[in-house]
Amino acid sequence: MVSQVLSTVLTVLAGIAAALAVYWVLNKLAEALPGRWENLVKPYFYVAPAVAAIGVYLVYPTVITVINSFKSSDGSRLVGLDNFGKLLETPAFRQTLLNTLLWIAIVPAACIVVGLLVATLADRLTPRAEKAAKTIIFMPMAISAVGSATVWRFMYATQPAGTPQTGLLNGIVTAFGHDPVPWLQQSTLHANSLLLMVMLLWGQAGFSMVLLSAAIKGVPAETLEAARLDGAGELRIFWRIIIPQIRGTVITVFVTILITVMKIFDVIYVMTNGAFNTNVVGLEFFNQLYTNYNYGYASAIVVMLLIAIVPIMIYQIRHFRAEESA
C-alpha cells in the first residue's frame, strides 16, 4: 500500500516536472526569436502542448475507433455497417439499450428534484446547521464510484434464510419475521435497476445540491420580498420567480448528470456485472472488448454512444455561451 502511494506521488511529481520543463524549453525558444516574432509565436508555443495532448489522447483514438467500428471482430477486414446491424438485431443488446434509456429518463431528473429540495430546505436552516447538512449530503461525492458501489453491496447483500444477514435491508426484513430478499435479482419492472439508480442518486445529490444552492442564493432578495408583499405564497415564489432565474444552472446540472449516466459503467460492474437484466451500454462495451475480444462490436457501441452524447454537449456549449452573452 505504501509503495503504491509513493509510486503515485512520484508519478504526479514527475508529470508536473515534465510539464514545467516543456514550457520552459518552449519559452526559451520563443525568447530566442526577434522581438516581433517572439510576441507572435509565444502564445502558440504555450497552446501547442495542450493541442498535441488533445490530438494524441482524444482525436486520434476517436478516429481509430470509428474506423474499427466498420471492421470485423479481429480488425482484419471491412464489414461496413454489419456491426451496427447485428448489435441492434440482438434482443440482449436492445434490452441493454432499454436499461440505459431508463437510467437516462430517471436519474438526471431525480437528481435535480432531490438537489432542489435539499438546497431549498437547507437554505432555511441556521448558518451552522446549513453547513453541517450540506457537508453530510455532499460527502458521498468524495467517495469513488467503485467504493460507493462496494458500500451499497452491503446494503443489498443477501444470505440464505436462517443465517445472519450482512445486508442492512435484509437485516430489517428478517427482523420483522420475513425471508431475506435477493434485492439485486428482482428484475420485475426493473426493480434491481431502480435500486442501482438509488445508489447513483445518493452519490450525485450533493453535486446537484451545491450548484443549485449557489444559484438560489444568487436570486435577488429584493425580488423575493416584492413578491411576498404582493401576496405571493412561498410555493408560487419558488415556481414563478426562483426556478426561472436559476434555469441555466438547472440545465447545466441536468446535462452534466445526463452525460455521466450515459457513460455509467463502474456501478453496474461492481454490483451486478450486468446480470439479472441490469446491463447498460458502458458495461456492454467493456464486455465486448475485454471478455469477447470483439473489437468491431466494442467500437460500434462507442460510436453509438458518441453519436448520442455529442449533440448534448453541443447544446450545453451553446447554452453556456448564450448565458454568458445575456
Q: Is the pLDDT of residue 177 over 70?
A: yes
Q: Is the pLDDT of residue 3 over 90?
A: no
> Which pLDDT score is estimated for 94?
94
What's the predicted TM-score (pTM) here? Answer: 0.86
Q: If you average pLDDT over every residue of the chain, what do you get?
A: 89
Percentage of the chain exceeding pLDDT 90: 41
Q: Is the pLDDT of residue 326 over 70?
A: no
- Of 116-130, 246-260, 264-278, 312-326, least confident by mean pLDDT is 312-326
> Which pLDDT score is estimated for 228?
87
**Per-residue pLDDT tens digits for 56-77:** 999 999 999 999 999 998 888 8
**Rounded to the nearest 5°, which phi and psi values hold at 81?**
-95, 15
Cα(158)–Cα(195) distance, rounded to whole angstroms?
14
**Per-residue pLDDT tens digits for 71-118:** 998 888 899 899 999 999 999 999 999 999 999 999 999 999 999 999
Cα(17)–Cα(121) distance, rounded to whole angstroms?
46
Residue type, 4: Q
**Per-residue pLDDT tens digits for 44-57:** 888 888 899 899 99
> Which pLDDT score is estimated for 107?
94
Contact at 8 Å (CB) between 237 and 228?
A: yes
SS3 81: coil
> Average pLDDT, stretch 275-281?
92
> Which pLDDT score is estimated for 115?
92
Q: Which residue has the cell 451553446?
A: 318
Q: Is the pLDDT of residue 324 over 80?
A: no
User: Helix 91-122 vs helix 82-89: angle between axes, to the nearest 10 degrees?
Assistant: 80
Cα(247)–Cα(244) distance, rounded to whole angstroms?
5
43: which 3 cell numbers?
502564445
> Which pLDDT score is estimated for 110?
94
